[in-house]
Amino acid sequence: MTVLITGSSRGIGAQIARGFARKGYSVALNCSKSEESAQRLCARLREEYGISCGVFRADVSDSAEVKRMFGEIRESLGEVEVLINNAGISTQRLFTDITDDEWRRTVGVILDGAFYCSREALPAMIRKKSGVIINISSMWGEVGASCEVHYSAAKAGLIGLTKALAKEVAPSGVRVNCVTPGVIMTDMMKGFDRETTEELRLETPLERLGAPEDVAQAVLFLAGEGSGFITGQVLGVNGGFVI
């Protein structure tokens, strides 16, 4: 089985990749800038788990780059049977200060990226009558985040994409689900000071911040046979932050 995890050079995506490698999948790593870190992860996964693994650089917001990436993956690892749309960026900005570029970039990476990658992956999945797509949205796509309207809008769009696409491709044997993480400690949280991070921890009913492994476990469940009757769903991994 071949899995592609977009944005897997670091953070949540890297941990998801590790989870699939542990299960013996052939793993396609993707990044846009952090190629060195993706190559290091790739070497470690090959060495630790004896799997096939490759790094495929592409900006997922660019449909031509996504098309090229899928061609390269097909050549070296075969058709993508499990797609994890994980690549994402976030910035904090007052709504009236969001520039056209910032809006387009955020929606481009998160929403266009998932659209382009899913569109490339689906024909082979439909032909085979099996496949799994998992979109990494956010709890802020469910409830809205102040000063992150562009991010919330893109993540909410990803939930809509999940539900509509799940209905369309279910008769073709393809399942599409969505994971909505809460506060997960990765580079994405670097912009927040210690005080804000502590406030977020205290706001989380389980009184801890999430780790990339928390999200990876949910993704592995949704990709596995144990979730064979689950499609079009939104699984919150947020310590109870959003109930």
Q: Please, which residue, 25 or 151, has the CB nearer to ligand NDP? A: 151
What is the residue-wise DSSP string for 2-50? EEEESS-SSHHHHHHHHHHHHTT-EEEEEESS-HHHHHHHHHHHHHHH-
Q: Which range touches ligand NDP (CB under 6 A), out of 114-122, 182-190, 217-225, 226-234?
A: 182-190
Please tell me whether residue 184 binds ligand NDP under the rule CB under 6 A.
Answer: yes
Q: For ligand NDP, which residue of 6, 118, 152, 231 counts as binding (CB under 6 A)?
A: 6
Q: Count the site residues for ligand NDP by CB under 6 A.
A: 31
Q: For ligand NDP, which residue of 2, 26, 34, 177 counts as binding (CB under 6 A)?
A: 34
Tokens 């990226």 belong to which residue? 113
Q: Please, which residue, 13 or 157, has the CB nearer to ligand NDP? A: 13
Beta bridge pairs of residue 84: 5, 134
Q: For ligand NDP, which residue of 28, 77, 132, 136 counts as binding (CB under 6 A)?
A: 136
Tell me the pairing of strands 174-181 and 2-5: unpaired
Q: Could you give the string, one character per residue 102-131, with x where binding to ligand NDP holds by CB under 6 A and - elsewhere?
A: -------x----------------------
Give just the sign of the alpha carbon dihedral 50, 48, 12, 106. Answer: negative
What is the residue-wise DSSP string for 143-193? H--TT-HHHHHHHHHHHHHHHHHHHHHGGGTEEEEEEEE-SB-SGGGTTS-
CB of 99 to ligand NDP, least distance (A): 17
Q: Please, which residue, 81 or 112, has the CB nearer to ligand NDP? A: 112
Q: Please, which residue, 131 or 210, has the CB nearer to ligand NDP? A: 210
Q: For residues 150-179, which are near ligand NDP according to CB under 6 A?
A: none
CB of 178 to ligand NDP, least distance (A): 11
Q: Please, which residue, 172 or 217, has the CB nearer to ligand NDP? A: 217
Cα–chain center distance at 171 = 24
Q: For ligand NDP, which residue of 21, 89, 149, 219 counts as binding (CB under 6 A)?
A: 89
Say if residues 216 and 19 touch (Cβ distance below 8 Å): yes
Residues 70, 58: Cα–Cα separation, whole Å: 10
SS3 139: helix
- In single-letter form, the type of residue at position 193 comes to D
CB of 232 to ligand NDP, least distance (A): 19
Give just the sign of the alpha carbon dihedral 174, 226, 156, 31. Answer: negative
Please tell me whether residue 9 binds ligand NDP under the rule CB under 6 A.
Answer: yes
- The site for ligand NDP (CB under 6 A) is made up of 6-13, 30-34, 59-61, 86-90, 109, 136, 138, 181, 183-184, 186-189
